[in-house]
Amino acid sequence: MDGHLKFSIAEAKNKLPALIHQAERSGRVDLTRRGKSVAVILSLEEYNRISGQRQGLWNSISKWRAGVATWEEPWSDAEVDSWRNADPGRPVDF
């Protein structure tokens, strides 16, 4: 079991308000037909989390760096380069 609560569609028909409350608490409830998952009830919070636009790595880094700059001077390229290990690494035989 993947940790999510599962209910048959027949159960869901009679317990919809309780299932919605459960989804609000746990994020999701799986609905099954003959033992196989066929649908999901999601909380609005979980839906918004998974349906939001992905920013991409560079946009996320830029957003993070902009936030850091509000409480500290932004880092220069020279400062970031100074953090990198200049060691050539271990020898590798090809």
Helix (H, G, I), strand (E, B) or coil at 55: coil
- Give the residue among 46, 13, 42, 15 at the shortest CA–CA distance from 29: 42
Measured in whole angstroms, the distance separating CA 2 from the mean position of its chain's CA atoms is 17
- The predicted model gives 51-75 an average pLDDT of 72
**Does residue 74 have a pLDDT over 80?**
no
Q: Which CATH number fits domain 1-73: 3.50.50.60, 3.40.640.10, 3.40.1620.10, 3.40.630.30?
A: 3.40.1620.10
**Domain boundaries along the sequence of the chain:** 1-73
pLDDT band at 68 (very low <50, low <70, confident <90, very high): low
Q: What is the pLDDT of residues 8-58, one digit of tens each?
A: 999 888 999 999 999 999 889 999 999 999 999 999 888 878 877 666 788
Q: How far apart are CA 94 and CA 76, in angstroms?
A: 37
Residues 6+ apart with CB under 8 A from 24: 43, 45
Give this prediction's pTM.
0.51
Give 3's contacts (C-beta < 8 A, 6+ positions apart): none
